[in-house]
A = this chain, B = another copy of it.
Amino acid sequence: MDLTTVLGVIAGLAMVLGAIASGEGGLFFLNIPSAMIVLGGTLSATLINFRMKDLLSVFRVLRKVFTTTELSSNDTISRLVDLADRARREGILSLEKELDKVEDDFLLRGLQYAVDGAEPETIRAILESDLISLEERHKIGQGIFTSMAFFAPAFGMIGTLIGLIQMLRTLQEPSKIGFGMATALITTFYGALLAYLFFQPIAGKLAARSKEERLQKELILEGILAIQSGDNPRIVREKLLTFVAPGSRETIQLRKKR
């Protein structure tokens, strides 16, 4: 479970509901027609904006935002350095036996190519093309949430305009202007809340996860190429460690270093 996402959603809702509950008539904020125009309008615009295929992926993407798969660069580096060490001592073909233990699909494919004797350029070309496709798909996921964060306040405003026009048109007694305006503003409130508490931060989290996954895969790619070229394991580790923040580099490894 992604703690920050879950905590953020709970805390954010608590703040807003608390602010509503602290006044009277909190149920006034629960307005089904207002919700329909904001949510419905946002989803309609999003439907037009994207392809069916991309929209269907949104649920898988959403799950990703709420579940954590902390990727440990340090573990990956140890793994790659071990493989580099073995390949150097026993030859690259010796890695064939290791393939069954590899769980990461990207690493598995890369090692398979290396064991099969593919050219380094071919391996790099295929894996980089994979990386680019991955990033493109991630961007579509982020794009859907960014679009919803753009459309939600827009339809909030459209709902408020409809409410204002309806109220102002027949305005006779100024005493009613307050109630009508409050009702009209609820759609603006819904639109802002959806955009700024959900859609925009979710797009942000997706971007952070995407960058993390990309970094991890780049690390694996560099590692595979280093293994194949028979680089000194010490150099391999040095190279791969640059992908990790200095503070997070495991000290055990650094002690082994010299």
Contacts and interface: CB of A to CB of B under 8 A. Distances in A.
Interface in A1-60: 3-5, 7-9, 11-12, 14-16, 18-20, 22-25, 28-29, 33, 36-37, 40-41, 43-52, 54-55
A66 to B, nearest CB: 10
Contact of A189 (B43, B46, B165): B165
A32 B127 CA distance: 54
Given A4-B55, A50-B208, A169-B182, A161 B189 contact: yes
A171 B179 CA distance: 7
A48 B4 contact: yes
Contact of A155 (B129, B170, B185, B196): B196
Contacts of A54: 208
Given A46-B8, A159-B19, A133 B178 contact: no
B25 A126 contact: no
Contact of A164 (B18, B169, B182, B245): B182
A254 B183 CA distance: 57
A170 B24 CA distance: 9
Contacts of A205: 48-51
Contact of A25 (B41, B170, B200): B170
Contact of A133 (B16, B177, B243): B243
A192 interface: yes
A250 interface: no
A130 B242 contact: yes
A165 B29 CA distance: 8
A25 B166 contact: yes
B40 A15 contact: yes
A119 to B, nearest CB: 10
A157 B191 CA distance: 12
A188 B162 CA distance: 10
A230 to B, nearest CB: 14
Given A47-B4, A48-B4, A189-B162, A151 B41 contact: no
Interface in A208-240: 208-209, 211-212, 215, 235, 238-239
Q: Which of A24, A45, A46, A147 gathers the greatest number of chain B CB atoms within 10 Å?
A: A45
Given A12-B48, A28-B165, 14 more contacts: A12-B44, A12-B45, A15-B36, A16-B158, A18-B36, A22-B33, A23-B166, A41-B196, A45-B196, A46-B201, A151-B196, A165-B182, A168-B182, A171-B178
List 3 A-B pairs, minimum CB-CB distance, nearest first: A171-B178, A12-B44, A8-B47
